[in-house]
C-alpha cells in the first residue's frame, strides 16, 4: 500500500494504491469543514471498494483541484506503486459475503470485475 499526503489551498488529502483492495484511493478533508480533531471524516473518499478505481489519472485530476501543487508525475508514481505491489485477488466467497453485507447495510452492489 502506498500513501502520499498533500495539503494547501484549504484542503488536505491522501492518495495512493491499496493492493489488498486492488484500487487507487483518494481522501480529501476540507479544512473549513473540520472541527480540528483527528477523528474528522473526509469530505471525499474514493477507492474504498474492491477494484473501484483501476487507473489513477482521474483521482490525480480531482486531487489537483483541491491541492494544485501536487507533483506532475504523481500518476506515474502511483502506477509504479501498483507494479511493485500487484492487486490481490478476492478470496473465494468474498463476493458472496460482500453481496450479503451490501444487502444488510443497504449499500449498492459492487462488481469487482468492472473497470
Q: What is the pLDDT of residue 24?
A: 98
Lowest mean pLDDT among 7-11, 64-68, 98-102, 106-110: 106-110
Predicted TM-score (pTM) of this structure: 0.77
pLDDT digits (tens, 9 = 90+) for 52-95: 999 999 999 999 999 999 999 999 999 999 999 999 887 766 66
Q: How far apart are CA 77 and CA 88, in angstroms?
A: 19
Mean pLDDT (whole number) for 6-14 = 94
Average pLDDT along the chain: 87
Lowest mean pLDDT among 12-16, 30-34, 104-108: 104-108
What is the domain partition of the chain in residue ranges?
A: 4-88
* Segments in 7-93 forming alpha helices (H): 57-66, 74-84
| Three-state secondary-structure class, residue 68 | coil
- Cβ pair 41, 70 in contact under 8 A: no
Amino acid at each position: 500500500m502506498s500513501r502520499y499526503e498533500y495539503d494547501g489551498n484549504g484542503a488536505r488529502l491522501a492518495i495512493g494504491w491499496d493492493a489488498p483492495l486492488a484500487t487507487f484511493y483518494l481522501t480529501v478533508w476540507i479544512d473549513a469543514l473540520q472541527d480540528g480533531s483527528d477523528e474528522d471524516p473526509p469530505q471525499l473518499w474514493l477507492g474504498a471498494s474492491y477494484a473501484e478505481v483501476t487507473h489513477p489519472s482521474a483521482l490525480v485530476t480531482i486531487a489537483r483541484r483541491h491541492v494544485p501543487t501536487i507533483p506532475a508525475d504523481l500518476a506515474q508514481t502511483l502506477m509504479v506503486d501498483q507494479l511493485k505491489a500487484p492487486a490481490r485477488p478476492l478470496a473465494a466467497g468474498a463476493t458472496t459475503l460482500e453481496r450479503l453485507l451490501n444487502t444488510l447495510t443497504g449499500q449498492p452492489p459492487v462488481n469487482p470485475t468492472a473497470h
